[in-house]
């Protein structure tokens, strides 16, 4: 093997190793993907169940929010894929039209400590994503064809190193909050602080008396 070939292999290893090391394994969904799966399909299934003959739709968001605006955008993308014509909420449209009204939408993400190492540092977290959506569908004359709500929940387990990779810097609602078990928070943590403090004090006076 020539020196040039060895150099090429070495450079490729330097480039590929970090990519392999820090790449997100296949099968781990981001928080944004999970929220999309929780909120979008029910709305699309509702419209399919209504056997809508109209290919014209308006989407109204009752209360503005980052999550609500994001959901509207996601629904618009799926409607376009189904070749549905979307109209602005302020546009006057005559004829057959369906109005999807998003009344309330919310989502919460928590990371609950599941496993600790010998230094009591949490290494595994249970990811809990709970969403809520209240929506309705009405026709052009204002008759309500459907009204309901959903409250889906998703759970899995992630390592500490993967928590940041499943969040998005573009959307604050994809950020999760770390929570620990109450037993550990109220018993072990104060005990650990007390033992550490006593140890430091004891070591200080032991060294002082020895000198």
* 79 and 148 inside one domain: yes
* 94 and 195 inside one domain: no
Question: Does residue 13 fall inside a structural domain?
Answer: no
* 40 and 88 inside one domain: yes
pLDDT at position 114: 83
Domain that holds residue 98: 29-175
pLDDT at position 52: 60
* 161 and 189 inside one domain: no
pLDDT at position 170: 94
* 44 and 145 inside one domain: yes
User: Cα–Cα distance between 29 and 208 in angstroms, integer?
Assistant: 56
Residue 114: CATH number of its domain: 3.30.160
User: Cα–Cα distance between 203 and 199 in angstroms, integer?
Assistant: 6
**Into how many domains does the chain fold?**
2
Question: Does residue 143 fall inside a structural domain?
Answer: yes
The set of long-range contacts for 80-89, using a CB threshold of 8 Å and a minimum separation of 24, is: 82/44, 83/55, 84/55, 84/56, 84/57, 85/55, 85/56, 85/57, 86/56, 86/57, 86/58, 86/59, 87/56, 87/57, 87/58, 88/58, 89/58, 89/59, 89/60
- What does pLDDT average to in each consecutive run of 10 residues of the chain (211 residues)? 55 50 64 97 90 76 95 93 80 76 96 76 90 94 93 95 93 91 51 61 64 57
* 34 and 77 inside one domain: yes
User: Cα–Cα distance between 195 and 127 in angstroms, integer?
Assistant: 31
Question: Does residue 40 fall inside a structural domain?
Answer: yes
Query: Per the confidence metrics, is the pTM higher than 0.75?
Result: no
Question: Does residue 2 fall inside a structural domain?
Answer: no
* 138 and 190 inside one domain: no
* 148 and 200 inside one domain: no
pLDDT at position 19: 45
pLDDT at position 23: 45
Question: Does residue 41 fall inside a structural domain?
Answer: yes
* 66 and 143 inside one domain: yes
pLDDT at position 24: 46
Question: Does residue 121 fall inside a structural domain?
Answer: yes
């Amino acid at each position: 093997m020539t020196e040039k070939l060895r150099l090429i292999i070495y450079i490729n290893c330097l480039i590929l190793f970090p990519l392999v090391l820090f790449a997100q394994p296949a099968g781990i969904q981001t928080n944004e993907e999970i929220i999309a799966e929780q909120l979008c399909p029910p709305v699309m299934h509702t419209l399919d169940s209504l056997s809508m003959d109209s290919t014209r739709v308006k989407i109204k968001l009752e209360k503005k929010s980052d999550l609500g605006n994001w959901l509207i955008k996601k629904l618009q993308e799926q409607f376009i894929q189904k070749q549905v014509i979307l109209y602005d909420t302020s546009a006057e449209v005559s004829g057959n039209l369906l109005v999807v009204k998003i009344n309330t939408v919310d989502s919460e993400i928590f990371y609950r400590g599941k496993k600790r190492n010998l230094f009591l540092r949490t290494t595994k977290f249970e990811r809990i994503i709970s969403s809520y959506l209240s929506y309705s569908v009405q026709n052009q004359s204002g008759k309500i064809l459907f009204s309901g709500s959903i409250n889906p929940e998703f759970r899995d387990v992630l390592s500490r190193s993967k928590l940041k990779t499943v969040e998005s810097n573009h959307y604050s609602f994809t950020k999760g909050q770390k929570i620990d078990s109450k037993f550990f928070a109220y018993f072990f943590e104060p005990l650990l602080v007390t033992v550490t403090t006593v140890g430091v004090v004891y070591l200080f006076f032991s060294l002082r008396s020895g000198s």
